[in-house]
Amino acid sequence: MEQEHKSPSPKKRKIGFKITLIVIFSLILGAGAYGFSVYNSVAGTLKKTHEPLNRSESEQRVINLAAGDPISILLFGVDQREGDRGRPDSLILLTANPGDKSIKMVSIPRDTYTEIVGQGIKDKINHSYTYGGVDMSIKTIENFLDAPIDYYVEVNMDGFKDLVDAVGGVTVNNTLDFFYNGTNFPVGKLELNGEEALKYSRMRALDPQGDIGRQERQRKIIQGFIKEAVQLGTLTNYGSILEVIAKNVKTNLTFEELKDIQANYSITRHNLEQIQINGSGKEEKEVYYYIVPEEERTKLSKTIKKHLDIQ
């Protein structure tokens, strides 16, 4: 039997920050159907969450969102702790290409051993956030992937369950019958509330595919949000949704940029590919690291650059 975890907050961050980004996009997608007040409220919320990156013009790619240039967005699911800035429990790079109508989602293991740009050392990739916040993390991940990051969304995931409940839950087609932490998940169509979605996305040891199976369930939750979050019923509760976002999100995306993304990139949501980074675990002085072979990193870099139309 899988061990119950007394403190669920780190597990919340594995899936909830992906949903937060999708909800922001979905609110903009559906705002035209609901009215001017939604646009005003979303705009006001994003003013509170907006935090530009500290980098020069030469470090920033020129992106024409109106023309549908391929873009990359780094998602942080951050475990914030009292007295320090915390560290990401989840790191995911999304690339969106309207030309081939697709999104690629690269999950970056937080224990990946790599150079920390600006520190002159090698360490776990998520420690770059502890050393220098979002700016140092982005430079470190750009160096590791040898690929540019255009935008970021940082989420403090303490609001995960509230967010799921605020949008009315999520529907998934479950293919693995399992019982976890007091809840049964039979095969078939399931309607999950916030607490149930958290349990559904955190189970790993009972899955024959391990972490791969867990990531597949997380993807089902994401797809459920993409299908359902734009419905009018969700928008009637947009005030509660925006309140959760305002408290838990930071991003360099502006409202105008998000409107351009809604107009020119929404077609990419129908074709989502999840990419695993292959590597192996290694312990050094009782510290666990995830080692990614150079050939794997090169292959991954080529895949990302191709999707971004970078020669």
9-307 domain in CATH 3.40.630.190?
yes
* Encoded amino acid at 14, one letter: K
Average pLDDT, the chain: 81
Task: Give one DSSP letter per residue of 88-131, joined into a string.
Answer: EEEEEEEEEETTTTEEEEEE--TTBEEEETTTTEEEETTHHHHH
* Encoded amino acid at 260, one letter: D
> Over 60: is that where the pLDDT of 28 sits?
no
Residue 13's pLDDT band (boundaries 50, 70, 90)? very low
Q: Which residues, 6 or more positions from 305, have their beta carbon under 8 angstroms from its beta carbon?
A: 146, 147, 311
Q: Please write the tens of the pLDDT for every residue from 56-92.
A: 888 889 999 999 999 999 988 776 655 656 677 778 8
Structure tokens at 219: 């993807």
Better pLDDT: 116 or 7: 116
User: For residues 157 and 13, what is the distance between their CA atoms, to the nearest angstrom?
Assistant: 5
pLDDT at 23: 58
Q: Please write the tens of the pLDDT for every residue from 201-236.
A: 778 789 888 766 776 787 677 666 656 555 545 555
Q: Please write the tens of the pLDDT for every residue from 159-178.
A: 667 767 777 888 899 999 99
Global confidence as pTM:
0.76
Q: Which residues, 6 or more positions from 75, have their beta carbon under 8 angstroms from its beta carbon?
A: 17, 18, 21, 90, 91, 92, 93, 94, 152, 153, 155
How many C-alpha atoms does 215 have within 13 Å on its Cβ side?
A: 16
Q: Please write the tens of the pLDDT for every residue from 268-291.
A: 878 889 898 999 989 988 899 999
CB atoms near residue 37 (< 10 Å): 11
Give the start-to-end residue ranges of the domains of the chain: 9-307
Residue 252's pLDDT band (boundaries 50, 70, 90)? very high
What is the torsion angle, in degrees rounded to the nearest 10, for the CA atoms of residue 228, residue 72, residue 81 and residue 10? 50
